[in-house]
């Protein structure tokens, strides 16, 4: 079964992430399939826009930690015992992001529809698209910052501003779709029963415009972020992410047997940080140990 379901519509394409049993975690296979489908759509003059959505209860749980080609630090396994080859670490962290960056370089408009959880690498995928429309109850977060790394291609500060980027990326706390729209992290949040009509309607509306005009407008908008140093930031961020896996907590977790690793991450995060969401308006529900409840 394909990891990407492709639906061809008049003037636009619909790509559906199709690994629901893995909560659409990003394996290299899925990423390369996405890249190939984007290349095909880019070469088709009848296509002006693309919609990306996902099957299953969640949009994307992040990078697939069971896939050695996307697993943090996997490139360091051949290093001398007790040492890390940082060149290999950074190269391993950049490899899936280089494939994912095909969304940024794709000349046509991309709308992404998010439901359920959009975590870690899932946020990187969404933020490389042009516009994000989400279920108001969706959740956006980068929980890896709590224990195993940092965002290697951060876009949060460009959309939400530096203070909200710091609030969310220092703690890994989640923000709802409704609140993400309030701070500009996403374009719009809607009730679940209105989400499909909005995302499809916008994608179809974009398809009314000649793709060449859309491509040039996209070039202008993307260039504005590139002139702010986006690509340089991403190079620095990949190196910082590589150094992040040398932190004490990351090293402790790396000693966990691979079969227990994901559950160990989930259990630790629940115990230390709690399950709650950040509140954009009003106080956060901290308990006496600073867990969000």
What is the CA 10 to chain-centroid distance, rounded? 28
Of the pLDDT bands very low, low, confident and very high (cuts 50, 70, 90), residue 83 is low
Domain ranges of the chain: 4-273
* CA atoms of 168 and 280, how far apart (whole Å): 11
How much is the pLDDT for 8? 98
How much is the pLDDT for 258? 83
What pLDDT digit, counting tens, does each position of 175-215 carry? 999 999 999 999 999 999 999 999 999 999 999 999 999 99
Residue 105 burial (CB count, 10 A) = 12
Top CATH class, 4-273: alpha beta
Beta bridge partners of residue 52, listed in sequence order: 15, 112
* Sequence-ordered list of residues with C-beta below 8 angstroms from that of 117, at least 6 positions apart, any chain: 23, 58, 59, 60, 61, 138, 139, 141
How much is the pLDDT for 71? 57
Residue holding tokens 């407008």? 217
What pLDDT digit, counting tens, does each position of 108-155 carry? 999 999 999 999 999 999 999 999 999 999 999 999 999 999 999 999
How deeply is 27 buried, as exposed, middle or buried, from its count of CB atoms within 10 A (0-12, 13-18, 19+)? buried
Q: What is the pTM (predicted TM-score) of this model?
A: 0.93
* CA atoms of 63 and 213, how far apart (whole Å): 34
């Amino acid at each position: 079964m394909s990891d990407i379901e492709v639906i061809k519509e008049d003037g636009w394409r619909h790509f559906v992430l199709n690994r629901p049993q893995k909560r659409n975690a990003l394996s290299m296979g899925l990423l390369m399939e996405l890249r190939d489908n984007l290349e095909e759509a880019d070469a088709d003059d009848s296509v002006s826009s693309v919609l990306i959505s996902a099957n299953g209860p969640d949009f994307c749980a992040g990078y697939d930690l069971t896939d050695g080609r996307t697993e943090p630090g996997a490139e360091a396994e051949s290093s001398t015992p007790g040492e890390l080859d940082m060149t290999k670490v950074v190269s391993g962290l950049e490899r899936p992001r280089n494939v994912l960056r095909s969304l940024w370089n794709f000349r046509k408009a991309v709308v992404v529809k998010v439901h359920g959880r959009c975590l870690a690498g899932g946020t990187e995928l969404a933020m490389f698209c042009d516009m994000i429309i989400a279920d108001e109850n969706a959740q956006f977060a980068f929980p890896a910052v709590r224990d195993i790394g940092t965002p290697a291609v951060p876009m949060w500060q460009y959309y939400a501003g530096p203070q909200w980027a710091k609030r969310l990326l220092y703690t890994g706390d989640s923000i709802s779709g409704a609140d993400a729209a309030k701070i500009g992290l996403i374009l719009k949040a809607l009730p679940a029963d209105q989400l499909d009509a909005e995302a499809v309607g916008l994608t179809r509306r974009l398809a009314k415009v000649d793709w060449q005009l859309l491509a040039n407008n996209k070039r202008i908008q993307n260039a504005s972020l590139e002139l702010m140093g986006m690509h340089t930031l991403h190079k620095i961020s990949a190196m910082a992410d590589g150094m992040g896996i040398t932190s004490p907590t990351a090293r402790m977790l790396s000693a966990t047997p691979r079969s227990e690793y994901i559950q160990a991450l989930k259990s630790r995060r629940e115990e230390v940080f709690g399950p709650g969401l950040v509140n954009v308006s009003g106080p956060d529900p901290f308990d006496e140990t600073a867990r969000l409840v």
